Amino acid sequence: MSSKKIFIVRHGQTDYNLKGVVQGSGIDAPINENGKKQAAAFFNRYGQVDFDKIYVSGLVRTKQSVAGFLEKGIPHESIPELNEISWGKYEGMPMDHDENEYYQNMISKWAQGHLDLKIEKGESPKDVAERLKRGMEKILEEDHGKILICMHGRAIRILLCVLLNYDLRFMDVFKHQNLCCYELTFLAGKQFRLDAYRPSPFDDPMDLS
């Protein structure tokens, strides 16, 4: 199997992002006007890349964020396994002090290694990792050399741990912003190499190769 170049981008801003409200996989919110500007800036940066195929999650904000590429006629596919983590009962709720404290405590416990913990009616990091593995198996079994994947912040952190063999406790070392992009190479079907991280459509890249 030949090597593949994979670009993993987070969706553009939504009003939930703007207000600091957790979306997760249960809120199918569209990107807002600023998100559209971010998507356009991302397209300006990557629009000349000859992607063979684009993969998006099952949530509309990911498809909207790569609309410029889809308008070029690049084949695309929605893979629900790429969806954001489910935050359960906290999805769509404005965070008061107690709820934010509970949320931050959960993140802290994950960093301590309690990776089976989940918010009520939500998913754990281990749940999401297994789901993302299934999604990536679908993607990698296809014969495409350059791939663009648009997905979600927490899911990206977990996916990068899976692909780069990081312990899930350290998922938060992978930063994310709306329309940030991680560039990776899948080496001859054996392992992934992280080549670059672009923090946002408006910043210069950090070369990690």
Question: Is-above-0.85 flag for pTM?
Answer: yes
pLDDT in tens, the chain (209 residues): 578 999 999 999 999 988 888 889 999 999 999 999 999 999 999 999 999 999 999 999 999 999 999 999 999 999 999 999 999 988 988 777 777 788 889 999 999 999 999 988 999 999 999 999 999 999 999 999 999 999 999 999 999 999 999 999 999 999 999 999 999 999 976 899 999 999 886 554 443 32
Domains delineated in the chain: 4-207 (3.40.50.1240)
pLDDT at 203: 52
pLDDT at 205: 43
pLDDT at 92: 86
pLDDT at 204: 45
Distance, CA of 197 to CA of 43 (rounded, Å): 16
